[in-house]
């Protein structure tokens, strides 16, 4: 099973050292993805909920362009800046719109602030 770097021009790239995703066999491993707007390369405006929503849209685009989809996600990790969503109400509301039927295994560690005002990042593993 040979790993292959995957990029799509339809989603923002994390940075020059981190690929959007890596495929191996029939799996895709999506790197940590923030709520950046593809057209500007900057974080979306509107605060935490807007960043969460955009981050999930970016992951959805990466998965679909790689031949997968949100309903094939088996594991997801969401990284939230500590205190940004103390009762998880925002993440759970947005999460349920992207995973209305089958919910993948999930971890949700709270982290120290990311650079550049990022309040949320998400990574996942999905079947292709």
Confidence grade of residue 58 (pLDDT, cut at 50, 70, 90): very high
- What pLDDT sits at residue 42? 94
As a whole number of Å, the CA-based R_g of the chain is 14
Share of the chain above pLDDT 70, in %: 100
- The pairing of strands 110-111 and 120-127 is unpaired
Closest CA to 119 of 37, 40, 50, 20: 50
pTM (predicted TM-score): 0.95
DSSP string, the chain: ---EEE--TTS---BTTB-SEEEETTEEEEEEE--B-TTTSSBPSS-HHHHHHHHHHHHHHHHHHTT--GGGEEEEEEEEETTSSTTSHHHHHHHHHH-SSPPPEEE--EESPPGGG--EEEEEEEE-
Closest CA to 88 of 103, 104, 110: 110
Q: How many domains does the chain have?
A: 1
Contact (Cβ atoms closer than 8 angstroms) between residue 30 and residue 63: yes
Across residues 52-65, what is the average pLDDT? 98
The boundaries of the domain holding residue 68 are 4-127
Confidence grade of residue 21 (pLDDT, cut at 50, 70, 90): very high
- What pLDDT sits at residue 13? 86
Would the pLDDT of 5 be above 80? yes
Q: What is the CATH number of the domain that holds 102?
A: 3.30.1330.40
Would the pLDDT of 14 be above 80? no
Would the pLDDT of 63 be above 80? yes
């Amino acid at each position: 099973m040979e790993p292959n770097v995957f990029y799509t021009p339809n989603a923002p790239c994390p940075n020059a050292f981190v690929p959007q995703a890596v495929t191996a066999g029939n799996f895709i491993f999506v790197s940590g993805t923030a709520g950046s707007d593809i057209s500007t390369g900057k974080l979306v405006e509107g605060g935490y909920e807007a960043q969460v929503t955009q981050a999930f849209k970016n992951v959805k685009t990466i998965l679909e362009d790689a031949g997968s989809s949100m309903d094939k996600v088996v594991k997801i990790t969401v990284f939230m800046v500590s205190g940004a969503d103390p009762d998880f109400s925002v993440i759970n509301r947005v999460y349920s719109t992207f995973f209305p039927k089958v919910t993948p295994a999930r971890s949700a560690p709270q982290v120290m602030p990311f650079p550049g005002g990022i309040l949320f990042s998400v990574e996942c593993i999905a079947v292709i």
